[in-house]
Every structure is written in structure tokens, then in C-alpha cells.
A and B are shown apart, each in its own frame.
Chain A
Amino acid sequence: DAKTTQPPSMDCAEGRAANLPCNHSTISGNEYVYWYRQIHSQGPQYIIHGLKNNETNEMASLIITEDRKSSTLILPHATLRDTAVYYCIVRPYHAGNMLTFGGGTRLMVKP
């Protein structure tokens, strides 16, 4: 799986948008970008994934650059409950591949 690079930590004010960047310059054509988060002591939670088009769901939006070498996860209106470690993972779509977790970004949402 391609390697990803994320800032170790970020702060965000409650109610504002949180923009979490991820670099994946070695991504290959069949690899998707996945985002998970881990709220303290809980199991990781799937957020969103995409291949090359921007994606949006009830939790977040994913913006992938045209060259697919980087992406941004956007939480449009961050709440205190969004405080977590966010992991950007690149992997092929099909099952049978484990997820390789890097260090992630520790997002602190502040009141």
C-alpha cells in the first residue's frame, strides 16, 4: 500500500470547518483513499473513501486532487465529539487487504 503523510496534530474551533490534509504521492491507479477516525479508547470508525472524484456523506467531504497525490478530509461543522485521531489510508478496494495505520492526525476541537 502507498505511504501517507499527515500532520501529527491540529486544532479547530467548535462550529468551524476542520480541514485535515493527507499526502499520498506514491498512490497507484487501483488504490482508494480511505479515512478512519479513532475516538479515545474506541475502535476505529470508517468515515469516507474515494478514488478520484470528490465524495460527500453525512459525516464529511473528501477532496482528492486531480493528480491524486493528496487529499483533504473536511468536517464542515466540527463539534467537541469530533476530537479524535484521524487516519488517512491508501489501499486497493477489494477485501483481503489489511489496513496499514500510520500515526494519523490528532484533531482537538476546542470550545
Chain B
Amino acid sequence: DTAVSQTPKYLVTQMGNDKSIKCEQNLGHDTMYWYKQDSKKFLKIMFSYNNKELIINETVPNRFSPKSPDKAHLNLHINSLELGDSAVYFCASSRDRTSGANIANTGELFFGEGSRLTVL
């Protein structure tokens, strides 16, 4: 079973369109994330959610709207797509301190395979 799965894997669309990327994790983690990786491999955090609540929003344009229907899902909706939105988007999850004390918990991130978005 895939721990963190995201769909679609590839997405090609025109400027101005609206698109969504879905993410699901079956690890029982409380925290989920969206990262953006550009063509130069710079990997940058966009959002993080803990138990369906927004924790981090790293100055991402309002066109990006994450939605977490439950703690196992974090979807990313993008309105009015622009050329600069072309990138690989990674979903991730982790088990953090609020999940309970565990000296063996490294807080490591588990990533999905990525969704390559190309805006034409």
C-alpha cells in the first residue's frame, strides 16, 4: 500500500484554468503538507495542516486554496493558473509532537510521488 498518494501524477492545462490535486495518507499522521519544487529543484513549503487546521501558509497567492476534509486528506485547488505555477507539487505527512511522546519519533516527512503541473 502506498503511504502517501497523490493524483494526478501529470497535469497539463491552459493558463486561466482551475485545477485540483488530491492527496491521501494512510499512515495515521496528524500533519500534512504541500511543497512546490521548481525547475531548479528548489523545494519550498507552501502549506501545512494539523488535524484539518491550517498551521503554515508561506505567502502563497490566494489562487492556491488547500482543503482538508479529514486528517488523512489534503487537497490543493489552484484557480486561474499562471505559467509560473508550472512545477512539481509534493504532498507529505508527518507524525509530530501532538501525536504523543515517542522517543523513537524522528518527525520525518513521508512524501508522495509528486504531481507535475504544466501550464501552457
Real binding pair: no
